[in-house]
Structure 1
């Protein structure tokens, strides 16, 4: 088995504590599974902490300090490592997304955040918070656009999104916003920067009727699944649970239109919106 990849402390606020956890665990001659057993968590959870894809709660930090005799190091660094500009329910997923090698996502009703334009994101956030002052919306949009910079790299991470047709047909912000948004997705596809499939209405019942799904894989940590609801979200690292969600995503991909057919549908919808905006 190859040696774990060295962690870049600048890649995430959790990278430095994660690297230190790995060092102290190996110094204590404990495997991830053995340390996990002492903390009543899985070995894969320890792997996620070490990789910086999960944040360390204060109670876990205190127990690790005690088990590894680290003189309060992890408790002291716990608060700084968990600070985030994202909502609590999404903070862990955003940190994980930033260092993932592959991101696969299914969305039912809206365009995934990584593919959004500023205008579309603004409409979505305003719908979420209709009474918020403009500065709050500006900050939310800016943070979302920061996430989209993952796509500035020509090759990594691999981004594969399956969009329900409802996301294309829901005219968030009106035809002008939707024409620009769908044109942006088509451009990403044509530049080979994202794989996008559309799950058409004609598919009927499918494996993810209950909600959206994000799957993330990493170079040196177990995969994660993130499920999000209204103001809530949960990150799963249990191997059996993640495998179940991976299978559901595979079923969605098999049911959806091919990438070529999907691109044609997206561009056709963009043209329809553009004609509606400028008859």
Structure 2
């Protein structure tokens, strides 16, 4: 018989919340399946909540109150868990934070900034200060640390989603950082590509007309849920789960992928540009 792993409720707000939920459920003599009767959720989803790995949706929190006969604890603390899970990130990014940990595949298009999953601390700090120049040092570091924590996704042994990213050439040749830091940033992308943790492509500057001229894109697919599309502006983000619309975005992404450099040529571009920055040279633009 496999012994279940105990939950350390002292680790975080989500862990404490999940441990309390499991204790109440088991004290009521309910299995995962029995607890979920009358809800729209599966036992894997509930198990993830109990282990502090997923947020508790408000409707499920209310279901818990009814089933367990509690006094509103789970509904009242639901938002506390949500805030804890998104620490260092905007509220509109919350759904992406959770979804990317359970995705089979993540595909991104980044025309203006390197994506958060690939950023080094220096790059993340520069982006935060550019967008929020009056932020206190502690606030900046919280946001930087939150982005670095997301990148642990690439180090997980049990589940690493397939990650495909298309980057505009200007992100390489028009540096946001000093040469030394820019070399380190490009080395990071090349290292992940060489370890086969990511597949990266460069869209040449000369490809002026393409399907995603109007903004960024992030497409996530799952084994047990419909796909999601996410796009972001300066102070807002939009998550779309309409299947037909996500499929339309996916077709546009596939067309964009077709006109970008191959992964092999792109890797060579990252490495050559990093070397140029290390040697005090400006990287050549693609022909």
Q: 1: CA distance between counterparts of 2:264 and 2:252?
A: 22
Choose which of 224, 239, 242 in structure 2 pairs with 1:238. Answer: 242
> Cα offset for 1:57?
6.4
The corresponding residue for 1:196 is 200
Choose which of 111, 123, 126 in structure 2 pairs with 1:123. Answer: 126
The corresponding residue for 2:285 is none
> Cα offset for 1:238?
1.1
> Cα offset for 1:64?
5.9
The alignment covers a number of residue pairs equal to 253
The corresponding residue for 1:219 is 223
- The structure having more radius of gyration, on CA atoms, is 2
The corresponding residue for 2:99 is 96
The corresponding residue for 1:79 is 79
Per-residue CA deviations over 1:185-244 (Å, capped at 9, x if unaligned) read 111111111100111112221111111111112232221111111110011111112111
* Structure 2: segments with no counterpart, 5+ residues: 1-6, 26-31, 283-287
Equivalent residues of 2:169, 2:203 under 8 A apart? yes
Equivalent residues of 1:54, 1:92 under 8 A apart? no
> Cα offset for 1:176?
1.6
**Which structure would you say has the larger RCO, counting Cα contacts within 8 Å and 6 or more residues apart?**
1
Whether 2:189 is the aligned partner of 1:185: answer yes
| Distance 1:122-1:193 versus aligned 2 partners, 3 A rule | same
Matches within 5 A, 1:39-188: 58=58, 60=59, 75-76=75-76, 78-83=78-83, 84-85=86-87, 86-153=89-156, 156-188=160-192
Choose which of 243, 254, 272 in structure 2 pairs with 1:268. Answer: 272
Q: 2: CA distance between counterparts of 1:159 and 1:251?
A: 17
The corresponding residue for 1:36 is none
* Structure 1: segments with no counterpart, 5+ residues: 1-8, 33-45
> Cα offset for 1:73?
7.5
Equivalent residues of 2:61, 2:78 under 8 A apart? no
**Which SS does the other structure have where 1:220 is aligned?**
coil
Q: 2: CA distance between counterparts of 1:94 and 1:148?
A: 11
The RMSD of aligned alpha carbons is: 3.5
* TM-score, with structure 1 as normaliser: 0.76
Equivalent residues of 1:65, 1:74 under 8 A apart? yes
* TM-score, with structure 2 as normaliser: 0.74
